A and B are shown apart, each in its own frame.
Chain A
């Protein structure tokens, strides 16, 4: 892997100081029971099916054709979409346009410092984002061209990928790229019998390993993106260890949660249209 020598990188091996925190000695199970009550109420007072409050805004990057900024409480993601350009280094003609996604965590967005180069997780998230957006866009409208989408996570507090996909949908609409439908995405974290919609970073972390014995060893993360009017799932990703029953109820929960966001996305786009009409009138 080529390394950019002009950048000053941190020491090659460093350990986040939080690992040495004395308060961190509690078992994962205690930590989990502290943030999620048995009835499903979470540390921030939400119920298990409740989404965090969303702030969504278009046109934040003036240089880009379309852009959007999304906040899910602490999670902050900025997405920009650039004009279609010819696919670089391509010799044969492709009848469908391509979508290029780049998902990136800002170096300061997580507990541990992220490097400037995309790591495996970011590459995977880029691929998932591409998968999600490909079926939402009229790709035959721009043959042999590619649309670049860049997502930058400024602060990761869980569900960053979902936030990026929802924002990318809005940014594409803002850029005037023809689309079949609005795309919304929601994340689910599973631990035992608890299904938590739109998890925070802490909840995501505690859902990586099984905390309960036997029978209840379901755990994992599910990310699902929906094209609401067509009732289509454009992207689905699950990791962890889940039973069919758990997964199917999770899918239902996520589809409903994703549909709820659509109103908000519409409102945001309408606001943008009204604003641009006013500018023209003036």
Chain B
């Protein structure tokens, strides 16, 4: 063995004050590597952005696109109305979310029951998730939003808000129930053995031991679904309610300009970007907690 190789400078300097000791081979290498990665990332980003900024305005239609999509004065004028309409989206989201959580959990539990008496429930839950996971959300909204009010019930039972929300709840509770189901199935069998050995019944075990742990485990993927829901609320505009997308459509026609759509997109991003960042943060924390250090 080469003498230098057996010098454990890397491990010994870890416990020491690094300012007093010379950097270890590993530290020198990692610093250089880090600086290099940073420089490459910076250079490549600048090149791509520069290229886009330089090339797009060269296209023949750019001045027209700029006028009809990125029109400053129109944005200023329509933005407040868009924001007011967005309150409606948030309201719909806020009453749909708890319904989806409850219904999703009930469906997940139904799919886990083993009692033959409750077999119809299990069958129903399986069929339900198959159907609503398999239909595009937009179709569910159109079918329910136009179909049910056709039954001719009086107000408020013909409200598009109501049936649009119901359609969202049906679609999303089927997604969420699959997330819950995966969470329930991910809890190790030894937890069940521990609980049952104490005399807890199947349902007590599910309620006190399995579900609390499953919920903790699925919070990040669940949040992901709710970020999607936040956006899909806009699909309700198709059956009438004046929420942000509808408002943007109205303004588009009024000004004969697409800028309100860009305005609506900006408003969505203001909400969803922090949300997705937060989910990413939760997910990486969960990963660190369960799998230790990252492998290079």
Our verdict on whether A and B bind, yes or no, reads no
* Contacts from A to B (Cβ < 8 Å): none
